[in-house]
Structure 1
Amino acid sequence: MTSTPHLKEHVQHAAAALVAAFASNDTDAYFEAFSEDATFFFYTLPAPLRSRAAYREVWVGWQADGFAVLDCQSSNAHISLQGDVAIFMHDVATRVRFGTEETQFHERETIVFRHDGRRWLCCHEHLSAQPDHTA
């Protein structure tokens, strides 16, 4: 049996690969990190996305409109193992370009990973706006 620290290390590696692919605009590597039946809940969209294909369609549309990720940094990560499922929570600071404009986002994200027998794949992603504590 694999130890909990060892399993968490594998999940951390899967999460780091996902963030790195996102940060470098590597569309193929990014979407390969998700299961086909993955679901997505983004506060920036009017409705959840119910498959990897649905998200990729939105992503391609964003890119056609001039969207590009310029940088993404993960911090405050926490991993909770639940059998063959792992919950990865973290804060993300993302710099993106929309056409000629650059924007910085500070968000919180929960990614649910499921072990498919070979590797950890993202099966659900939930992105939330991070509260502004400067007020």
Structure 2
Amino acid sequence: MTDHTTAVLSAADALVAAFGRHDTKAYFDAFAPSATFIFYNLDRTLVDRAAYEAEWALWESRDGFFVKACRSTDRSLYIVGDVAIFTHAVETDLVIGGKSITNHERETIVFVHQPDGRWLAIHEHLSPLPM
């Protein structure tokens, strides 16, 4: 593995781990402020991290949204210069409306190498996993 490969996979692992423990600070810190988000369960693109943070807060207050765990499998990484495209299947244990559910989805996260050496996510696209 190249140094970039190791660094991107480490950034992806940290992002997934923060999401899986509902650590909103660490999770959102993994995204650039200008990151965009496309979720199949929303009727619009979230145009930046602040919009996603507001949506997340709404889910928590309105729906009782809470992430209990997240597992990442079927991982793939493609790096072109300072851009990395990470794809994986995600199985997420959630609480919504007081009910425990498990989502099966696939996700693409685009990372960009920062001048300080970090890899920050600049785009996330989530879709249901075909059954």
Quickly name the TM-score band, shorter chain normalised: over 0.9
Distance 1:62 1:51 in 2: 17
Q: Please, which runs of 5 or more residues in structure 1 have no aligned partner?
A: none
1:78 — aligned with what?
76
Selected match of 2:27 from 20, 23, 30: 30
Cα deviations by residue, 1:85-105 (Å, 9 ceiling, x for unpaired): 000000000010013101111
1:95 — aligned with what?
93
TM-score, length basis structure 2: 0.96
TM-score, length basis structure 1: 0.93
Shift of 1:125: 0.2
1:5 — aligned with what?
2
- Equivalenced residues, count: 129
Distance 2:76 2:89 in 1: 10
Distance 1:59 1:116 in 2: 26
Aligned-pair identity (%): 48
Cα deviations by residue, 1:61-101 (Å, 9 ceiling, x for unpaired): 11112100011000011110011100000000001001310
Shift of 1:46: 0.6
Residue identity matched to 1:29: A
For the residue of structure 2 that corresponds to 1:88, the secondary structure is strand
Q: Could you say which structure has the larger radius of gyration? A: 1
Residue identity matched to 1:38: A
